[in-house]
Amino acid sequence: MTLSTPGQVLHVTPYGDSSVIVKVFTRQLGLRSYIIKGVRSRNARVKQNLLQPLTSLDMVVYDNPHTDLNHVKELSPRHPAQPSDPVNNALRFFMTEVLYKTLHEAEPMPELFDYVDETTTNSPLPTAHLPITFLLTVARHMGIEPLDNHSPHEPYFDLQEGRFVSAPCETTLSPALSSMLHTYLDSSFTAHHSSLDERRSLIDALIAYFQLHLSSFRDFTSHEILHTILK
């Protein structure tokens, strides 16, 4: 059968002489793989610029639950093209890698899809806090959100335990970085007056946290590019 769904491009792999296999985060079906034929040919009906990271698409797809690879009947952009600059590109690459390494096939997450769609249609993307708030939002939807039990008696965040603890160990953050994480976890968070180096340290800590709690979250590299661009 065919089904209409919005989708966000996460990964493209060449297939055969002119086709590609595209990993798409769809609103209705979750993460799915689709083959798009002839996209790399000179007279391609679908242009490759529609398949850039986190491009938002309106799609009509064939949905056969008995196969891991379906076909696309129609697709078109959902939003106007976003500005292309090093910061926006680095943020999109970062968010794409986070989603690609956390989402699993056929697990619909419409609320997460809507959050990503709203975030990526901002022009320009919010820069300072987005990598941290994005990681924490994805963590919440994946069921691994850090427990915000921060207090004077439990000032250290333990990456392994996923909560604040009373005594430091090999997997705890410093009191300053733990306090910063607590601020971001606060539901009333609007802004945080932190330095670039502090935010970098927290991004690195959260990536380590994901790696401890999600077996698929390995060999993550896009934060290094992000750190370089946001100097």
CATH (domain of 177): 1.20.1440.120
Tell me: pLDDT of 213 over 90: yes
Q: What confidence score (pLDDT) does residue 188 get? A: 65
Domain count, the chain: 2
Q: Give the pLDDT band of residue 190 (cuts 50, 70, 90).
A: low
User: What is the arithmetic mean of pLDDT over 56-72?
Assistant: 91
Higher pLDDT, 41 or 99: 99
The more confidently predicted of residues 84 and 53 is 53
Residues 32 and 103 in one domain: no
Question: End of a domain among 28, 60, 77?
Answer: 77
Instruction: Encode burial over 18-53: b for 16+ CB neighbours within 10 A, e otherwise.
Output: ebbebbbbbbbbbbbebbbbebbeeeeebeeebbbb
Residues 49 and 116 placed together within one structural domain of the fold? no
What's the rounded Cα separation, in Å, for the pair 231 and 229? 6
Average pLDDT, integer, range 168-188:
92
Q: How confident is the model at residue 192 (pLDDT cuts 50, 70, 90)?
A: low
Tell me the pLDDT of the chain averaged across its residues.
Answer: 90
Residues 51 and 115 in one domain: no
At residue 51, does pLDDT exceed 80?
yes
For the cut 80, the answer to whether the pLDDT of residue 124 exceeds it is no
Q: Check pLDDT > 70 for residue 158.
A: yes
Do residues 106 and 194 share a domain? Answer: yes
Query: Rounded to two decimals, what is the model's pTM?
Result: 0.92
Q: In which band, very low, low, confident or very high, does the pLDDT at 48 lie, cut at 50, 70 and 90?
A: confident
Do 126 and 162 have their domain in common?
Answer: yes
Of 96-110, 111-125, 134-148, the range with the highest mean pLDDT is 134-148
pLDDT (average), residues 150-169: 97
pLDDT at 222 over 90: yes
Range scoring the smallest mean pLDDT among 27-31, 54-58, 103-107, 173-177:
103-107
Q: Which domain holds residue 22?
A: 2-77
Q: 72 and 112 share a domain?
A: no
- Give the number of other CB atoms < 10 A from CB of residue 154: 15
Whether 93 shows a pLDDT value over 90: the answer reads yes
